[in-house]
Amino acid sequence: MASHDPEARLSHLQSADGSATFSHAGYTVVGAVNGPIEVQRRDELPEEAVVDVIVRPAAGVGGTRERHLESLLQSTLRQIILINNFPRTLIQVTLQVTVSPENEYVNAKLSQAATNLPILPTLIQTALLALLSAAIPLTATVTAAVLAIVADDGASTIIVDPTAREIQVSRSLHVFAFTSRDELLLNESEGEFTMQEWDNAFATAQRQCCPAPTSDDVDMEGGSQADLKNFTRSTLETKTASDLYWK
Amino acid sequence: MATSSSLTLSSATFSKLSPHPYLLANLQASDSSSPSARTNGRLPQQARQPYINTSSLSHAHGSAVVRTGDTTVICGVRGETLLTSAVPNYRAPDDSSGATLNEARDYDLLVPNIELATGCAPNFLPGVPPTTLAQTLSTRVYSLLHSSKLLNVSGLRIYQKDGSELSGRQRGNEAMEEDDEGDSTITERAVKAYWVLYIDVLFISFDGNPFDAAWAAILAALQDTKLPQAYWDPDREMVLCSPKKRLPLTLSGFPVATTAAVFTAKEKPKKGGGQYWILVDPDRLEEGLCDETVTIVVDCPKEGTKVLGISNHGGTVVGPVLMKELAKAAESRWNDFRKAVS
């Protein structure tokens, strides 16, 4: 399960205000945040900051799919950034996908990937780390997970962080994002499912994204899944510690 | 509000000057006897009644006009043939192998496009590239067309004309494939071409909730679509269509999208709490004032309700409990559309 372990680097781009590279579940995304900066006159909002998200795919130029991902990310990040603290400014988040997993079972097309959803958690997580690196004030952090429901002869099983192959044979695919206060911030589901299955997926995602605060020994439970909430915290703790080392 | 009569605002001015307090004042009932209503006079959970008219375009293979309130959408479906010899990396479909090959997606047999016409709403200007909204809608429609597996791809395949007569070949094919799997029949029945469906959606007028209307228009247009019966003629090496016989597409199910927006009492909701209203089928004013939207796509056949997609973003109000309420609202909306189609 080594490939499932998340990895992150913070503040490694010199020119951007904040940056992060994040790898998880086969995807690697480089994120850069600039802000608050001056905003174009026609986009300016008198009472809040404009959040602009740019997603660039691993190959080719962005198309309608990237616009959709951008609008999802934009409305999500607006909720966690304290946009009212920076009226008439722009906070720009640029996300470049560098690695995306290939499905060796099909002849892949570059331009139109099979589905938009699996990459969404990695994009959200990268954007969050880059925002933290840029020291943009946030109301909460966000944790996201992708789940696939696979039907196995009547019984349906939920797979967290499914592979490209598992996504292809799955019956439905769900992306959930929770704030650090355990509220549902984003949910995108596609495929065929019942509300009961959705409930189960929701509960699994909640367990995944919002682990009980007391369980420090979460790694000891033998779960192969990464605890992204604690991962974000420990990554930043390490970064802060190394930045303050000279004292 | 001002006390002096010269300073009293008309409701139209009030709504333009400060739309958020205006909608809030409408929703917060002044006394307990009158129920809270929206600025458009609807109840929070009340959707606009859909009207559907099909086959209005003469040159499309199928078309539909859908009207919900002041949102009017027209959708035309046009089929064009695509030769398999023109497809790079073409692999012949093999029904026995199962789900590994997704022809509709791999060969782009469904090409939806959504256009927001100039003048359908004041914020769409002429001569600009497609807006983010138009691109987002196209992507969502494209994803839903594929993930819901609405279209049966076997109806889009064009086979070589074999010895048997044309009539009922569609049904004949399937029956033959089921009962004899010999190599000879499969080679004879090689797919020579596909129908590519160009699904064009144009917003004539836009008053909120574009996705539901666009999806309903696509669904009604696909139900209305009749493709000419086509076959591959090996002598002339081209696809020929029979002028008389037209076959409808085979659709699985009747998925209907329902969108709701969440209106919060405070313009900048603080963490947790605060009063909110769920506005089903929001209009343009309401959409501009709501951050969080939920779209649920359901199909309610007799066997039981199934959900084909959920999209919820932009806020933290909707949790699992509210989601189930909205699924109920989606079911009643499904009945509205079902009635409007028939």
pLDDT in tens, A201-218: 999 999 888 887 654 544
Task: Find the domain containing A39 and state its range.
Answer: 2-103+114-212
Closest chain B CA to residue A117: B143
Q: Could you give the C-alpha distances from B342 to A231, B223, B290, in angstroms and in order?
A: 54, 11, 33
Look at A107 and B271 and tell me if their CB atoms are within 8 Å. no
Question: Under DSSP, is residue A12 helix (H, G, I), strand (E, B) or coil?
Answer: coil
**Domain B50-248 - what CATH class?**
alpha beta
The per-residue pLDDT for A79 is 92
Nearest-CB residue to B313 (from A72, A114, A195):
A72
* Residue at A151 is within a domain: yes
Spatial separation of the C-alpha atoms in residues A165 and A30, rounded to whole Å:
25
Residues A35-63 have a mean pLDDT of 91
Over residues B312-334, the pLDDT tens digits come to 999 888 999 999 999 999 999 99
Q: Which residues of B, range 68-97, sit inside 8 Å of A by Cβ?
A: 89, 91
User: B100 vs A105: CB contact, 8 Å cut-off?
Assistant: yes
Using the structure block, give the residue that is written with the tokens 């247009």. Answer: B221
**Cβ contact A176:A186 at 8 Å:** yes
Q: At what angle do helices A228-243 and A120-133 cross, to 10 degrees?
A: 30
Nearest to B312 among A115, A186, A193 (CB): A186
Instruction: State the smallest CA–CA distance between residue A116 and chain B in angstroms.
Output: 8
User: Looking at A73-87, B115-129, B192-206, B306-320, which range is the least confident one?
Assistant: B115-129
pLDDT of residue B248: 92
Asked if residue B117 has pLDDT above 90, the reply is no
In this structure, the strands spanning A184-193 and B62-68 are unpaired
**Is A138 inside a domain boundary?**
yes
CATH of the domain at A96: 3.30.230.70
Minimum distance, in Å, between the CA of residue B27 and any CA atom of chain A: 24
Chain B residues lying within 8 Å of A79, measured CB to CB:
291, 314-316
* pLDDT higher than 70, residue B185: no
Q: Does B8 touch chain A (CB under 8 A)?
A: no
pLDDT at B274: 79
DSSP A106: S
Domain assignments of chain B as residue spans, ordered by start: 8-37, 50-248
Determine the residue of chain A that is closest to B270 in CA distance.
Answer: A139
ipTM: 0.89
Verify whether the Cβ–Cβ distance B307 to A198 is below 8 Å: yes
Nearest residue of chain B to residue A187 (CA atoms)? B312
**Residue B88: closest C-alpha in chain A:** A107
- The total of structural domains in chain A comes to 1
DSSP A138: B
